[in-house]
Amino acid sequence: MHEQLPDEHIKNYLQGRLTAPERAVLEALVASEPDFARRVNLLRAEMAASELLIAADSRQLFQAWAKQKRRGAANGGTLGWKVTLVVGALVLAVLVWLLLPSGNAPAPRAAPITPGSQKNTPVIPETPQPPPPAPASEKPIAKQRARPDYRLLAIRHLDAPSPSAYRRVSAEGVSDAIAEAQEAYSAGEYQRALDLLAQAEGERAQSATFLAAHALFRLNRFDEAAAQFTTLIERRSRQYRYAAEWGLLLCRLAEMPEQELAFRQQLDALLAQPEHPYWEQAQQLKATMQ
């Protein structure tokens, strides 16, 4: 099949003027067909010999040009200049011809190959180069840890107040406002619980404040709930003080990261008190956040 390839196409291959796929086809033919390989070597030798002859002729022309130049300079005649111009043009043409096969000039289009000649021609696809390895100094970027949902975490750690702490039945057997507010709270009616607590008796203000703080917390009004818990802490309520400290801590947790400094300080202070009723819960909370 290589007989169908013209010599000009093979010369373009020897001079580096073919594209990568065309070059791969010819190299495969050279490796698989000895007759074609001998043909390529013969053309390579002919081209080398031709270049040597041209180089020898160029040297002779250059020597003749130099000799004529010296003679023209001695005689001062115009004939020497004419010869000089002709010889110089020939030398320049030869040099240009020798430089063109270097591969810097645009490669001419290769001679077409008939479809029949490609029937058994092996095509070597170009292997994609793998990406360069990363420098040893570079370390893989660690996957950024997702920030926890502080609000959900706080809601999970705040237990609902016990109904037994609020229920008080009057002499007529009717539950008072705080007991009704507790029932509304247990039913998830937090705003109704707040409305009922506004009608609570004055002597049970601490119970109303504690339940109101929980209702405000469930309504995501954490700053108002924190104010109610702080009131119980400042009054040093015997019944609700420690539970109010825990509620205030969770209000600050729900408002993280804005309240992170206050939350961390209160959590560390609570963990420094093993006798605190919520010390174990504080340990669990800290472990959850690590």
Retrieve residue 15's tokens.
């001079």
With a cut of 70, list the residues of the chain below it in pLDDT: 1-3, 55-59, 62, 65-66, 68-70, 72-145, 163-175, 201-203
For position 171, what pLDDT does the model report?
Answer: 42
As to burial, measured by CB atoms within 10 angstroms (0-12 exposed, 13-18 middle, 19+ buried), residue 162 is exposed
For position 103, what pLDDT does the model report?
Answer: 41
For position 79, what pLDDT does the model report?
Answer: 53
Q: Where are the alpha helices (DSSP H) in the chain?
A: 7-14, 20-32, 34-75, 79-99, 150-157, 177-186, 190-197, 205-218, 222-234, 241-254, 260-271, 279-289
Q: Are 278 and 245 in contact (CB under 8 A)?
A: yes
Domains of the chain: residue spans and CATH: 2-102 (no CATH), 150-289 (1.25.40.10)
For position 109, what pLDDT does the model report?
Answer: 47
How far is the CA of 95 from the CAs of 41, 45, 51, 57, 92, in angstroms? 25, 20, 11, 12, 5
Which amino acid would we find at residue 104? N
